[in-house]
């Protein structure tokens, strides 16, 4: 049995930052993730995607961010169980929990922190004929390695941040990038939309607004994508790769059966400390919900910090949380 102070379910950026905040308060962490590597969706889905809203980094790739966070938490020596899914939690008489995975790993912990991002997820797929015939043969639902698309003709579909960011990023890599969106405005960040509009004005990308996807074609491998415009005209766009970026469909998996208050596949929390309706269980990051919730990594970091302040009382019930700063070798610590 693994003994720890905090068991964090999810080893993405928010879960990793919770390790740092817990470490500052002398609390040990063990992380469990169903993915075979640390990094969550950032490492699994878009490791090379640039991120622009991390303080101190005008631009940093998803994997670089994870690598920096691993370096940051190394002094606190967290432990990991990867490639396993948490199946059961059992509350003990003293308030602590026994956590069990599908591979029979058992963890005894004082506090559980759910930082599982979107939980189990799968890409949302456009409803067009023959889509499944080209999966792995020109249709990709995520960009793992941008170099794959060098000097290729790429068609991206979507109107959110992911579609905008990848359009901007692949414009300098691919031979041709076409962005298709069914509306004439975007849901993504205004700054990202402005960058994409400028690329279109400069002739660096093709922008098809108010276009609806109707079909994709090819002879064993994708050759072109069909859309219709407002006038119902059929437009055929040559494509080596078609990348529909419509987001992910979240599924909580076993978490949904733990007695937590759930609203639309997200866990309801108290914004005082991001605690759930079950004492000693917290939820931080994209997996939680509350009025005014923003699904940003930065917001998850904030939630992790407040959560750790609250969790301290369960790990050290006889101690009061105080801070005494000293300077050792020129470094401020406590």
pLDDT in tens, 180-200: 999 988 988 788 899 999 999
Q: Is 80 annotated as a binding residue?
A: no
Distance from the Cα of residue 186 to its chain's centroid = 21
Q: Is 286 annotated as a binding residue?
A: yes
Query: For residue 106, what pLDDT is reported?
Result: 97
User: What letter does residue 275 receive in the DSSP assignment?
Assistant: B
Tokens standing for residue 300: 């998850």
How does pLDDT run across 79-113, given as a tens digit for each residue?
999 888 898 999 999 999 999 998 899 999 999 99
How does pLDDT run across 290-315, given as a tens digit for each residue?
999 998 999 999 999 999 999 999 99
Closest alpha carbon to 155 in 169, 144, 139, 173: 139
Q: Is 86 annotated as a binding residue?
A: yes
Tokens standing for residue 86: 């948490």
Residue 263 has pLDDT above 70, yes or no: yes
How does pLDDT run across 132-146, given as a tens digit for each residue?
899 989 999 878 788
Query: For residue 144, what pLDDT is reported?
Result: 72
The CATH code belonging to domain 2-121+249-329 is 3.50.50.60
Tell me whether domains 2-121+249-329 and 126-245 share a fold: yes
Count of CB atoms within 10 A of residue 76's CB? 16
The residues spanned by each domain of the chain are: 2-121+249-329, 126-245
Residue 120 has pLDDT above 80, yes or no: no
Q: Tell me how far apart the alpha carbons of residues 88 and 111 are, in angstroms, rounded to a whole number.
A: 14
Cut 0.75: pTM above it: no
SS3 breakdown of the chain: % helix, strand, coil, rounded to 5?
A: 25, 35, 40
The CATH code belonging to domain 126-245 is 3.50.50.60
Q: Tell me how far apart the alpha carbons of residues 117 and 18 are, in angstroms, rounded to a whole number.
A: 13
User: What band does 129 get if pLDDT is binned at 50, 70 and 90?
Assistant: confident
Q: Give 61-112 as a DSSP string.
A: EHHHHHHHHHHHHGGG--EEEES--EEEEEE-TTS-EEEEETT--EEEEEEE
Q: Is 33 annotated as a binding residue?
A: yes
Q: Are 245 and 255 in contact (CB under 8 A)?
A: no
Q: Tell me how far apart the alpha carbons of residues 176 and 239 are, in angstroms, rounded to a whole number.
A: 9
Using DSSP's 3-state secondary structure scheme, residue 191 falls into: helix
Q: Are 156 and 179 in contact (CB under 8 A)?
A: yes
Query: For residue 265, what pLDDT is reported?
Result: 83
Dihedrals phi, psi of 88, to nearest 5 degrees? -135, 145
């Amino acid at each position: 049995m693994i003994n720890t102070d905090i068991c964090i379910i999810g080893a993405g950026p928010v879960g990793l930052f919770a390790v740092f905040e817990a470490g500052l308060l002398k609390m040990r962490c063990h992380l469990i993730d169903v993915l075979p590597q640390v990094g969550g969706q950032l490492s699994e889905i878009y490791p090379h995607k640039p991120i622009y809203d991390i303080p101190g980094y005008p631009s940093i790739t998803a994997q670089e961010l994870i690598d920096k966070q691993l370096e940051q938490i190394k002094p606190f020596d967290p432990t990991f169980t990867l490639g396993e899914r948490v199946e059961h939690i059992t509350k003990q008489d003293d308030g602590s929990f026994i956590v069990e995975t599908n591979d029979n790993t058992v963890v005894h912990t004082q506090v559980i922190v759910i930082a599982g991002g979107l939980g189990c997820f799968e890409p949302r797929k456009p409803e067009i004929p023959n889509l499944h015939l080209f999966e792995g043969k020109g249709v990709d639902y995520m960009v793992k390695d941008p170099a794959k698309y060098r000097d290729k003709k790429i068609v991206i579909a979507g109107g959110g941040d992911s579609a905008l960011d990848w359009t901007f990023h692949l414009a300098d890599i691919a031979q041709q990038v076409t962005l298709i969106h069914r509306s004439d405005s975007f849901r993504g960040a205004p700054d990202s939309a402005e960058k994409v509009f400028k690329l279109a004005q400069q002739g660096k990308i093709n922008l098809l607004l108010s276009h609806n996807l109707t079909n994709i074609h090819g002879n064993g491998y994708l050759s072109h994508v069909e859309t219709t415009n407002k006038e119902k005209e059929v437009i055929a766009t040559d494509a080596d790769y078609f990348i529909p970026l419509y987001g992910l469909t979240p599924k909580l998996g076993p978490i949904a059966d733990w007695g937590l208050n759930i609203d639309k596949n997200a866990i309801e929390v108290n914004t005082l400390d991001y605690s759930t309706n079950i004492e000693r269980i917290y939820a931080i990051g994209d997996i939680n919900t509350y009025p005014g919730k923003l699904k940003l990594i930065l917001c998850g970091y904030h939630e992790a910090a407040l959560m750790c302040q609250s969790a301290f009382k369960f790990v050290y019930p006889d101690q009061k949380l105080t801070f005494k700063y000293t300077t050792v070798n020129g470094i401020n610590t406590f």
